[in-house]
């Protein structure tokens, strides 16, 4: 079966987020009342799996092996839709 | 009041997504049964606003003016949490 899984990779607290900081500054210059911006990456993955939990396990493994950097990234996984 | 708004910037259909394609290829080489991967950018924006809908309107404007490129990007906005 095909599953659609969303994996969001964000920086661990304490790691600097230059893109977020620059975006915050730019929006403040445009007079928007922005306090803080965090930037993260979202992977929308379509994959074959035996079950919802199999899909989740596979994507968890992908995050650990390839998508997230354990020294600086957190990740969250959501199985979104079954086709 | 402070609002937390999530704005996701993704490519419009038909635009090539080299990062998604490369990630798909890498995961297939690791024998994962991946069909397709799309990569998008998520901004988590903390801002001051008068109401939920004011927060949404402001972030919609930010997307139009700075965060999204109208020729190639779609965006979705979610007001997530009120503090």
Over residues B13-64, the pLDDT tens digits come to: 999 999 999 999 999 999 999 999 999 999 999 999 999 999 999 999 999 9
ipTM rounded to 2 decimals:
0.92
The residue written with tokens 């990779």 in the block is A9
- Number of domains observed in the structure of chain B: 1
Cα of B34 to nearest chain A Cα, Å: 4
Taking only the tens place, the pLDDT of each residue in A22-40 is 999 999 999 999 999 999 9
Note down the domain range covering B24. Answer: 2-82
CATH code of the domain containing B25: 3.30.1280.10
Cβ contact B72:B15 at 8 Å: yes
- How far is residue A79's CA from residue B11's CA, in Å, rounded to a whole number? 21
Of A26, A37, A32, residue with least CA distance to B57? A32
- Nearest beta carbon to residue A23 from set B2, B30, B43: B43
């Amino acid at each position: 079966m095909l599953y659609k899984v969303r994996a969001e990779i964000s920086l661990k607290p304490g790691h600097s987020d230059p893109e977020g900081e620059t975006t915050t500054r730019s929006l403040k210059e445009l007079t928007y009342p922005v306090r803080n911006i965090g930037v993260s990456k979202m992977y929308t993955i379509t994959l074959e799996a035996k079950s919802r939990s199999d899909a989740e396990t596979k994507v968890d493994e992908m995050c650990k092996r390839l998508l997230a950097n354990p020294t600086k990234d957190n990740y969250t996984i959501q199985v979104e839709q079954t086709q």
